[in-house]
Amino acid sequence: MGAAAPSKRLRRPVTATPRPVTAPARLLRHTRSAAGFVVVTALTFLGLLAITFFIGRVIPIDPVLAVVGDRATPAQYEAARVAMGLDRPLAVQFVDYVGDVLRGDLGMSVSTNGPVARDLARVFPATLEMATIGIVIGVLLGVPMGVLAATRQGSWADQFIRVFALLGYSVPAFWLGLVGLAAFYARLGWVAGPGRIDVFYDGLVDQVTGLLLVDSLIGGEPDVFFNALSHIILPATILGFFSLAYIARMTRSFMLDQLSQEYVTTARVKGLPEWRVIWVHAFGPIRVPLITVIGLSYAGLLEGSVMIETVFSWPGIGNYLTTALFNADMNAVLGATLVIGAVFILINKVSDVLYRILDPRSRA
């Protein structure tokens, strides 16, 4: 008989015990994360500066002619061109442009004969106030409507919400604004007309934040507050309608995907209340992608309110940008474009921070 084969002992795999993260290592990790955040933000902003600068050079509008006028002599034209620094190489102009922006100098506006930075500080709060109310309306109505459409898939409620959201994508903003003014202001008299406030109340409240509703409450002027609210409610509701359509549609899509997951079926089999299954188990995982949807919608309202501001004579950045384009005021156009781009960058970075708060997996 042959020799028996040597027996092999089964060894358990040795698992290494993870070392606890020390305070210096944690500090180093957070420092690297913060440094990376700052570097990425700086590079993104530098790219935005480059885009706005070269757009200003590509657009077929002569900034010198906008300053000196059509009747300037060639000598006056050339003197203004040299004074504006347009005779220097393009790379030198870009470096000067970046330095001026970092110092808060966006140039002088031809339309207002004042610094563009001061003009933007004056008009941007009006757009911010209207867009903020619009996104609040869109979130408060769009998220529940999207959840309802997903949980009642195929029902009349689902069909109504889908058609309602489709209208938000299809109806032109200027047409809806004109119809709203004709119906609720001219016909019914439920809201105030164009403008941010009646002339009678203009100047009664000191500007603290630039947000008229907030400043009127700080100044203890309830009449100014309700007058400003009557002016802003219609354009903000129209903006909210457009954001509502997008948010409701995306919420419905996210919820349908989660409701088909096995853990939702398991929660229902266990006998959990339906509201808990929907709002805790199904809605919880979609909070992170929903932040992106809300952030993009908010940024879109801030930069896409040009038509609404034009129809309602709203003194915001959209109206300011339109006036600057008609007057060939390139400093104002580039300054407004730069502010809108910076808002997009800021909202994206805030979304990244919220990701880390709501989703622990992203912290790795």
pLDDT of residue 230: 92
Of the chain, the end-to-end C-alpha distance in Å amounts to 60
Q: Could you tell me the pLDDT band of residue 133, with boundaries at 50, 70 and 90?
A: very high
What's the whole-model pTM score?
0.80
Q: What number of residues does the chain have?
A: 364
- Per-residue pLDDT of 320-338, as tens digits, reads 888 888 877 778 888 888 8
CATH of domain 120-363: 1.10.3720.10
Mean pLDDT confidence for 75-92? 78
pLDDT of residue 226: 92
pLDDT of residue 85: 74
> Where are the chain's structural domains?
31-102, 120-363
Residue 179 to residue 181: CA distance in whole angstroms: 5
What percent of the chain is modeled with pLDDT above 90? 16
pLDDT over 60 at 211, yes or no: yes
Other CB atoms within 10 A of residue 338 CB: 20
